[in-house]
Copies of this chain bind each other. A is one copy, B any other.
Amino acid sequence: VCPVSHRDDEDTLKILIATDIHLGYLEKDAIRGNDTYVTFDEILKHAKQNDVDFILLGGDLFHDNKPSRKSLHNCIELLRKYCMGDKPITFEILSDQAVNFSTSKFPWVNYQDENLNISIPVFSVHGNHDDPTGADGLCALDVLSCAGLVNHFGRSRSVEKVEVSPVLLQKGSTRIAMYGIGSIPDERLYRMFLNNQVTMLRPREDESSWFNLLVVHQNRSKHGATNYIPEQFLDDFLDLVVWGHEHECRIDPERNEQRLFYITQPGSSVVTSLSPGEAVKKHIGLLRVKGRKMNLEKIPLQTVRQFFIQDVVLRDHLNLFNPDHPKVTQKIEAFCQEKVDYTGGFEAFNVMRFNQKFVDRLANPKDVVHFVRHRECKDAKDEENINFDELLSRASAEVMQLRVEDLVKQYFATAEKNMQLSLLTEQGMGKAVQEFVDKEERDAIEELINYQLEKTQHHLKERRVEAVEEKIDEEGPDTTIIIISSSSEGPRRKNRSCKITNLYFLHLFIIFSTRKKQM
User: Is B76 a contact of A147 with CB atoms below 8 Å?
Assistant: yes
Known: A66-B69, A84-B115, A116-B117. Is A76-B136 also a contact (CB below 8 A)?
Answer: no
Partner pick for A146 among B28, B80, B115, B138, CB 8 A cutoff: B80
Please report which residues of chain A, range 83-123, place their CB below 8 angstroms from some CB of chain B when the two chains form the complex.
84-86, 105-106, 114-118
Interface of A toward B, CB cutoff 8 Å: 28, 66, 69-70, 72-73, 76-77, 80, 84-86, 105-106, 114-118, 134-136, 138-140, 142-143, 146-149, 440, 443
What chain B residues lie within 8 Å of A149 (beta carbons)? 147
User: Is A143 a contact of B105 with CB atoms below 8 Å?
Assistant: no
Known: A116-B116, A117-B116. Is A140-B84 also a contact (CB below 8 A)?
Answer: no
Report Cα–Cα, A243/B317, bound state, in Å.
76
**Closest chain B residue to A70, Cβ basis:** B136
User: Is A85 a contact of B115 with CB atoms below 8 Å?
Assistant: yes
25 contacts between A and B (CB under 8 A): A28-B135, A28-B443, A69-B134, A69-B138, A69-B139, A69-B140, A69-B142, A69-B143, A70-B136, A72-B143, A73-B105, A73-B138, A73-B143, A73-B146, A76-B146, A76-B147, A77-B105, A80-B115, A80-B146, A84-B115, A85-B115, A115-B116, A115-B117, A115-B118, A440-B440
Return A270 CB to nearest CB of chain B, in Å. Answer: 19
Report which residue of A73, A142, A149 has the largest number of chain B beta carbons within 10 angstroms of its beta carbon: A73
What chain B residues lie within 8 Å of A66 (beta carbons)? 69
What chain B residues lie within 8 Å of A443 (beta carbons)? 28
Report Cα–Cα, A134/B69, bound state, in Å.
10
Nearest 5 pairs between A and B by C-beta?
A115-B117, A84-B115, A70-B136, A147-B147, A76-B146
Return A428 CB to nearest CB of chain B, in Å. Answer: 22
User: Is A77 a contact of B140 with CB atoms below 8 Å?
Assistant: no
User: Is B115 a contact of A114 with CB atoms below 8 Å?
Assistant: no
Return A484 CB to nearest CB of chain B, in Å. Answer: 28
**Closest chain B residue to A136, Cβ basis:** B70
What chain B residues lie within 8 Å of A117 (beta carbons)? 114-117
Known: A28-B443, A70-B134. 5 other contacts (CB 8 A): A28-B135, A69-B143, A72-B72, A73-B138, A84-B115
Known: A147-B147, A147-B149. Is A142-B73 also a contact (CB below 8 A)?
Answer: yes
Report Cα–Cα, A116/B117, bound state, in Å.
6
What chain B residues lie within 8 Å of A80 (beta carbons)? 106, 115, 146-148
Return A32 CB to nearest CB of chain B, in Å. Answer: 15
Report Cα–Cα, A139/B73, bound state, in Å.
10
Report Cα–Cα, A148/B114, bound state, in Å.
15
**Closest chain B residue to A67, Cβ basis:** B69
Return A440 CB to nearest CB of chain B, in Å. Answer: 7
Report Cα–Cα, A117/B28, bound state, in Å.
36
